[in-house]
C-alpha cells in the first residue's frame, strides 16, 4: 500500500515569513495529492490539491509543487499569518475507482505574531 512521509513534524515561523512542508510517497500509481488543514477540534479541510499531470499549482498565498520522478511534493505558504497556525496533512491517492486517502504524519505549524 501507499506510504506517505511528511517533514517537519513541527514548524515555527515568524508572521510574514514563508513555511514549507515536504512529503514523499511510495506508490507510483498515486496521482492525486491533496493538502488538508486541521484546526484544533475540527475535521480536516482541503486547502489545495494537485494532480500528477501538473507540476505546480498556486492559490493566493498557498502553492504546491510535485516532482513525480522523485515522488516528492511540497506545500509552500507565503506571508504567513497567525490564522495559518494549524496541523497540515499531505495525502496521496491512487488512480481509478475512488479515493483511498493515505495521510502523511502531519506538521504542526505555529505562526508567531
Partner 1 sequence: DAMVIQNPRYQVTQFGKPVTLSCSQTLNHNVMYWYQQKSSQAPKLLFHYYDKDFNNEADTPDNFQSRRPNTSFCFLDIRSPGLGDAAMYLCATAPGGWKSNTEAFFGQGTRLTVV
Residues making up the chain, counted from first to last: 113
The closest of 81, 80, 92, 88 to 105, measured between CA atoms, is 88
User: Could you say whether residue 98 binds partner 1 (CB under 8 A)?
Assistant: yes
- Choices 21-29, 58-66, 69-77, 95-103 (CB under 8 A): range interacting with partner 1: 95-103
Of 45-64, binders to partner 1 (CB under 8 A) are 45-46, 49, 51
User: Could you say whether residue 22 binds partner 1 (CB under 8 A)?
Assistant: no
Could you tell me the strand order of the sheet in which 19-25 lies?
A: 4-7, 19-25, 72-77, 62-67, 56-59
Q: Say whether 71 sits in a helix, a strand or coil.
A: coil
User: Could you say whether residue 73 binds partner 1 (CB under 8 A)?
Assistant: no
Binding residues vs partner 1 (CB under 8 A): 31-32, 34, 36, 41-46, 49, 51, 89, 93, 95-106, 108
Amino acid at each position: 500500500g501507499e506510504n506517505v512521509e511528511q517533514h517537519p513534524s513541527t514548524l515555527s515561523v515568524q508572521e510574514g515569513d514563508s513555511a514549507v512542508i515536504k512529503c514523499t510517497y511510495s506508490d507510483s500509481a498515486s496521482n492525486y495529492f491533496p493538502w488538508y488543514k486541521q484546526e484544533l477540534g475540527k475535521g480536516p479541510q482541503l486547502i489545495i490539491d494537485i494532480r500528477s499531470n501538473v507540476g505546480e499549482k498556486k492559490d493566493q498565498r498557498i502553492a504546491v509543487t510535485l516532482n513525480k520522478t522523485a515522488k516528492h511534493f511540497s506545500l509552500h505558504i507565503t506571508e504567513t499569518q497567525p490564522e495559518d497556525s494549524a496541523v497540515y496533512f499531505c495525502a496521496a491517492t491512487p488512480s481509478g475507482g475512488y479515493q483511498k486517502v493515505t495521510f502523511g504524519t502531519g506538521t504542526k505549524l505555529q505562526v508567531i505574531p
